Amino acid sequence: MQIKTEDIAVADHNWKQYTLINDHNFEVSCLNLGGIITRIMAPDRNNKFENVVLGFKDYADYAKNPTFFGALIGRVAGRIDGASFELDGNTYTLPANDGENHLHGGDPGFHNVIWDVTPFEEPNQVGIVLTYTTPDGENGYPGTVDMKVTYTLDNNNAFTITYEGTSDQTTALTATNHSYFNLSGDLKADIRDHEVMIDASQFVELDAHLIPTGNKVDVDDTVFDFRNGRLVKDGTTSDYKQNEVATGGYDHFFLFDNNKRDDVVVKEKESGRKLTVKTDQPGMVMFTSNTMDDKLQLLEGPSRRYLGLCLETQSSPASLHHEGFPSVVLEKGDTYKAKTTFEFGLI
């Protein structure tokens, strides 16, 4: 087990990249900028190591990163209707950075600030601890929030992200990571033939602006039923209204059933790779990069539609405007905690 550190100097920026390496040569590379995961090197069935996440060819492109490649997201991951919310009788107005709505915490957000990083090495795991304090009023959010995020890699090829946050005022907080997975390896194919299992009997309905309507929809007899596994392309080719709202695919919050099985399993038959997701979070946004164009230069070539699969475990920002959704409210004096493990294996 080891950690490699390198300086990344581009334009006016000086960042550090940390590469976590286990005893099987499985690697995860990430930046102190936004905690951005730039590369994950995972073996296929023939033990060939290839990159299984989307990342830019030129590090300078991470300065803007409009697609949030690999980044930590917060204070609140997802869209907040009308870029405002009420809490304890007060109305908080946020920057409208997605039409009339607020997306992924605004700017600055967890995705584009410099985090303090402390590496650690132990006999059976290596990792980094990232810390950042977001001040009271930043982007309109109440409270000074102290965040600690830990990235850990073990010898089971399991990469775990744990989040902790405290606030000196009651506030809204739900963080996630916005990595785009592609198990084909080095982007040999898009993700439409990835098979996905999601332990979820309901998803959250969206309006034309991708804002939750407040309705939970049963997945029965729809292409949102992933309980027994289905291909991503079932949704990209569907004329079901909710797929059309997402521009031909998925960008929806799935509510986990919390059965005693894995929350999410993704398989790619050509490479033999499998990704298993286990989390203590109540749900996940699955985004199938429906709107990605061909203007980004990635490590392995130009971007294109359906090239990556986001699995954003979190609570639901819909809870700020609708009853009955997993809350994103963090009370003063409480500690926000979340944990998600991405375990890479073979079919």
Q: Which residues are annotated as part of the binding site for beta-D-galactose?
A: 178-180, 251
Structure-token match 């230069």, residue found: 297
Distance (Å, whole) CA 30 – CA 44: 22
Other Cβ atoms less than 10 A from the Cβ of 159: the count is 26
Residues with a known catalytic role: 178, 312
DSSP string, 68-101: -TT-EE-SB-SEEGGGEEEETTEEEE----BTTB
Distance (Å, whole) CA 277 – CA 186: 21
Least Cα distance to 267 among 223, 222, 306, 228 occurs for: 228
Least Cα distance to 107 among 147, 81, 74, 83 occurs for: 74
**Can you say which residues are annotated as belonging to the binding site?**
178-180, 251
Phi-psi region of 306 (alpha: psi -120 to 50; beta: other; left: phi over 0): left
Task: Indicate the Cα dihedral angle 108, 328, 261, 122, nearest 10°.
Answer: 50
Least Cα distance to 160 among 332, 313, 269, 330 occurs for: 313
Q: Are 1 and 155 in contact (CB under 8 A)?
A: yes
H/E element, 314: strand 309-314
Structure tokens at 53: 């996440």
Task: Work out whether the CA dihedral 258, 261, 262, 267 comes out positive or negative.
Answer: negative
Distance (Å, whole) CA 21 – CA 26: 6
Structure tokens at 189: 């194919």
Alpha helices in 16-157 (DSSP H): none
